[in-house]
């Protein structure tokens, strides 16, 4: 390796130029830098879903343009990264690879394969507030519960200030060949279902920065209360930008803690949510099996139901419970679902329908633009009660009560379930409670214009608690 040989900058979940320690380290050497992104779909738990593929296409387009403005370019390759990266080293004569360290099981496995094969790979901390493995309890073990984890984060030295983007990136004398992004077919073919995504999102680093600034100035001070009201624009909607690394957690944390409203209760609540995302990443780092196995072992034997019709009704937003259906339709149209409604919809699947949480997690991975493996797995395990830091399974959300509390006027429901547009606020959370002649007067015919409830919540709750008791009895016998 010579000081003039190029370096390969391996982009993964860090599609940005600012606050990118690996990029900055490579640029500061003065050596030619070859930015590379590999589309590696070799793991069923990590392959991007349809909504994520749409976002990835546009994010890579924006990153390529930003690199082009620095007289650089983005090299695209598709396939097994463990084979492609050594091939690129030989093809370009590069002296090494620099990248941001990952908490994703698939990415970490590739890192190990490359290192074991003698590939010169240097990893930089850049995707987290604190590198996974550095926040440990007094015994040197990882935290399994969020609150003490977050307290430890607050007591640790604060995350370093984010880095600026490099002013220049040296280009190699000869560029390696690159795939055409259009040939990856990341965008939907006919029928084009992505219209709602285009209306809702602006992928890319600039879009991420604009969304953060707008949220901090507009909604952050009231975040502690507004975040639970789906009819209001009270959440940050930064999750897809964070997932793709168009903005770093460090940038978000620094902007929030240095904002004029940094001392507000809303901002403290927002920072705690960033902490929950960080906790999920650390948990996945230590427990890579959490994508497909419950962290509480007794839930391996939970009596889940096989209910294809119920799963299909839930996926389509046709359960007969308006707040659940509104959330599932918002998800299909925009690739996103309000956080409070995510909890309600997830609870309905795993408790009212008693369908395995992994079926819900798989659907979210396919349809969410913020389909982050760590957050998705930890959130579903939290709702299902099978994670290490979980809501007890016996806590069963009543969807009608949740709707009356958090969408009291029904604005969110009416937006996404327009067939209930004329239902009075007193009944929009549970239209079956209206007298039949009142429903008829506004053209609402249950089972025709809007579905009947596919389960009775009260009976479903009893069945869910009975299933929990059965699991606990079996666990006692085994012990």
CA 377 to chain centre: 9
115 occurs within a structural domain? yes
Q: Which residue is catalytic, options 314, 380, 382, 416?
A: 380
For residue 273, indicate whether it is catalytic.
Answer: yes
Q: Which residue is catalytic, options 175, 184, 193, 304?
A: 304
**267 and 389 share a domain?**
no
**310 and 443 share a domain?**
yes
Domain that holds residue 61: 7-126
pLDDT of residue 1: 42
The three-state secondary structure class of 9 is strand
Describe the strand order of the beta sheet including 96-100 as a list of residue ranges. Answer: 75-78, 33-39, 7-11, 96-100, 121-124
Contacts of 156 (CB under 8 A, 6+ apart): 130, 135
Question: Any bridge partners for residue 9, and if so which?
Answer: 35, 98
pLDDT of residue 43: 55
**336 and 448 share a domain?**
yes
pLDDT of residue 106: 87
196 occurs within a structural domain? no
For residue 304, indicate whether it is catalytic.
Answer: yes
Among candidate residues 126, 142, 175, the one where a domain is terminated: 126
234 occurs within a structural domain? yes
- Could you tell me the two tokens for 392? 């007890």
Q: What is the DSSP string of 255-324?
A: HHHTSTTTTSHHHHHHHHHHHHHHHHHHHHHH-GGGGTS-SSGGGGG------HHHHHHHHHT-SS-HHH
pLDDT of residue 388: 84
pLDDT of residue 35: 98
Contacts of 326 (CB under 8 A, 6+ apart): 230, 317, 341, 412, 413, 415, 416, 417
Tell me, what CATH number does 23's domain have? 3.40.50.620
Q: Which residue is catalytic, options 55, 357, 382, 416?
A: 357
**269 and 347 share a domain?**
no
Q: Which residue is catalytic, options 273, 298, 332, 432?
A: 273
Rounded mean pLDDT for each run of 10 residues along the chain, 479 residues in total: 81 97 97 96 67 96 98 96 94 96 90 92 94 95 96 96 96 96 92 89 98 94 95 96 97 97 95 97 95 94 96 98 98 96 98 98 95 94 90 89 98 98 97 96 96 98 94 69
For residue 339, indicate whether it is catalytic.
Answer: yes
**335 and 465 share a domain?**
yes
Tell me, what CATH number does 256's domain have? 1.25.40.80
């Amino acid at each position: 390796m010579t000081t003039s040989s190029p370096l390969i900058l391996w982009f993964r979940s860090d599609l940005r130029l600012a606050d990118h320690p690996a990029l900055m380290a490579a640029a500061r050497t003065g050596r030619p830098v070859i930015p590379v992104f590999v589309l590696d779909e070799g793991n069923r738990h990590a392959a991007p879903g349809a909504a994520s593929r749409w976002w990835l296409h546009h994010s890579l387009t924006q990153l390529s343009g930003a690199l082009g403005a620095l007289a650089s370019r983005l090299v695209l390759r598709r396939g097994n990264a463990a084979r492609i990266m050594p091939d690129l080293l030989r093809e370009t004569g590069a002296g090494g690879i620099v990248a941001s360290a990952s908490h994703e099981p698939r990415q970490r496995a590739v890192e190990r394969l490359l290192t074991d094969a003698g590939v010169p790979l240097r990893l930089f901390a850049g995707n987290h507030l604190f590198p996974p493995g550095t926040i440990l309890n007094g015994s040197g073990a990882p935290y399994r519960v969020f609150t003490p984890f977050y307290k430890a984060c607050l007591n640790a030295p604060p995350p370093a200030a984010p880095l600026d983007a490099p002013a220049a990136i040296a280009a190699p004398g000869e560029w390696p060949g690159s795939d055409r992004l259009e040939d990856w077919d990341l965008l939907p073919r006919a029928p084009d279902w992505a219209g709602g995504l285009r209306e809702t999102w602006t992928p890319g680093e600039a879009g991420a920065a604009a969304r953060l600034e707008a949220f901090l100035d507009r909604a952050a001070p009231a975040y502690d209360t507004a975040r639970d009201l789906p009819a209001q624009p009270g959440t940050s909607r930064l999750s897809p930008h964070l997932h793709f690394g168009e903005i770093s957690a460090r940038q978000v944390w620094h902007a929030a803690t240095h904002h004029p409203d940094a001392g507000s209760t809303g901002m403290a609540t927002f920072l705690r949510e960033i902490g929950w995302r960080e906790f999920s990443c650390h948990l996945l780092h230590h427990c890579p099996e959490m994508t497909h196995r419950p962290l509480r072992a007794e839930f391996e034997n939970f009596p889940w139901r096989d209910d294809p019709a119920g799963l299909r009704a839930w996926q389509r937003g046709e359960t007969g419970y308006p707040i659940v259906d509104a959330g599932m339709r918002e998800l299909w149209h925009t690739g996103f679902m309000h956080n409070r409604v995510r909890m309600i919809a997830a609870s309905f699947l795993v408790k009212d329908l008693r369908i395995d949480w992994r079926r819900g997690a798989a659907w979210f991975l396919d349809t969410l633009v913020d389909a982050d493996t760590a957050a998705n797995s930890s959130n579903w395990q939290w709702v299902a009660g099978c994670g290490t830091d979980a809501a007890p399974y016996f806590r069963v959300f009543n969807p009608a009560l949740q709707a009356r509390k958090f969408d009291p006027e029904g604005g969110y429901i009416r937006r996404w379930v327009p067939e209930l547009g004329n239902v009075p606020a007193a009944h929009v959370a549970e239209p079956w409670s209206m007298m039949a002649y009142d429903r008829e007067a506004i053209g609402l015919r249950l089972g025709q214009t809007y579905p009947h409830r596919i389960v009775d919540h009260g009976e479903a709750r009893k069945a869910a608690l009975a299933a929990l008791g059965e699991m606990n009895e079996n666990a006692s016998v085994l012990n």
